[in-house]
Amino acid sequence: MANRIVLNTISYHGEGALDELVGELDRNGKKKVFVCTDPDLVKFGVAKKVTDILDDAAVDYEVFQDVKPNPTIENVQSGVAAFEDSGADCIVAIGGGSAMDTAKAIGIIVANPEFADVRSLEGVAPTQHHAVFTIAIPTTSGTAAEVTINYVITDVQKKRKFVCVDTNDIPEVAIVDPVMMASMPVGLTAATGMDALTHAIEGYTTKAAWEIPDMFHLEAIRLISAHLRDAVEEAKTGVPGSGRAGMALAQYIAGMGFSNVGLGIAHSMAHTLGANYDTPHGVACAIMLPHVMAYNAASTGERLREVARAMGVSGVDEMSIEDAREAAVDAVRQLGEDVGIPTVVDGLVEDDLDRLVADTLADACAPGNPREATAEDVEILFRKVMP
């Protein structure tokens, strides 16, 4: 079977990347922009960094800011209606995973209205048309939604998140400018950074792993290990530096990888925790990752040795395979502790376990896990993070 790589047509990186926005709109003949963002980014002036550029260039736009954390079916449907009412011919998505996922779903449904119920997009939907032309501008260093073919929507009625995987949803252009990430608070910096690490490690150990994504994943792990602690310190002091810039690049590189090979049950469990307890996605991933790595260890061959090496663990070549695997798990656990990630999930209770387990095993990321997880296995993993 052939391996496939799907990436943005164009991406810009580094300080000053934002200056490329108007040129891309002009080159693609776009006349009115639908700005999809969240109310906090509007309130705190982050989105204004983009709309000021549009104002200066006399580009017409309309702002849709009704984006919620863990976007819902209803959230997407209201966005579709707003886009159609706006007369826009393209989307500029500004934000973290929630804004990006909302924008992707809006763009897909506008181009493929037969999926207006949203639920029918779960899994690998047979859409026929590429989403509305989209430029994605991330404001967090974690989800890499600007370069992936995935998005996640919450079904409030059923208390579950569902993953949509569609090559038609990837934004044509990504603009990754660390200036847009300068206002991230400490907790969000840590959580999104650990989300990126989870992407890289799960992508590197998934069943579908192969050489090109492997390169991306290992470099992302190296960059995150080198820069996340500094990025968190920069968030505490308010002084931007190499940590922020390093994480902006690292999370994108991780996205280049995992989008093309899938993930595993750490993400499946995180989706379930987010749907039931509103646990922030990056926090849920970070809590579950070391436990899932230890669970999967015997099914990963030498790969956790390479993870340990990328994380800067010394002496990995002299270690037994078991010790190298344990060293990788310990390095991840230590990084999470250093950046303030909790070790338990608030609200997780015994009565919810059956539903959590069932939803985890039904999640689109679960089949990629290197070890076949049973219901009993998943329940044991959830019990490890109960308060």
Share of residues in the chain with pLDDT > 90 (%): 96
What is 186-383's CATH number? 1.20.1090.10
- Report pLDDT digits (tens) over 118-152: 999 999 999 999 999 999 999 999 999 999 999 99
Residue 244 makes CB contacts below 8 A (sequence gap 6+) with: 141, 178, 181, 182, 231, 234
pLDDT tens, position by position, 308-325: 999 999 999 999 999 999
d(CA 67, CA 57): 26
% of the chain exceeding 70 in pLDDT: 100
- Beta bridge partners of residue 36, listed in sequence order: 64, 93
Q: With 90 as the cut, is the pLDDT of residue 159 above it?
A: no
Separation of alpha carbons 43 and 57, rounded Å: 23
| Among candidate residues 303, 300, 302, 286, the one with its CA nearest the CA of residue 344 | 286
Beta bridge partners of 162: 153
Its CATH class, for the domain covering 10-179, is alpha beta
**Lowest mean pLDDT, pick from 15-24, 177-186, 204-213:** 177-186
Residues 296, 366: Cα–Cα separation, whole Å: 12
Question: Under a CB-based contact definition with an 8 Å cutoff, are residues 218 and 210 in contact?
Answer: no
Res. 1: pLDDT tops 80: no
Q: What is the mean pLDDT of residues 153-181?
A: 94
Task: Using pLDDT thresholds of 50, 70 and 90, give the confidence band for residue 337.
Answer: very high
Q: Is residue 228 within 8 Å of residue 335, measured between CB atoms?
A: yes
Q: Mean pLDDT, the chain, as a whole number?
A: 96
Domain boundaries, the chain: 10-179, 186-383
10 pLDDT tier (thresholds 50, 70, 90): very high
pLDDT of residue 30: 98
Answer for the pair 100, 69: CB distance below 8 angstroms, yes or no. no
Work out the burial of residue 367: count CB atoms within 10 Å of its CB; fewer than 13 is exposed, 13-18 middle, 19 or more buried.
Answer: middle
**What per-residue confidence (pLDDT) applies to 376?**
98
pTM of this structure: 0.95
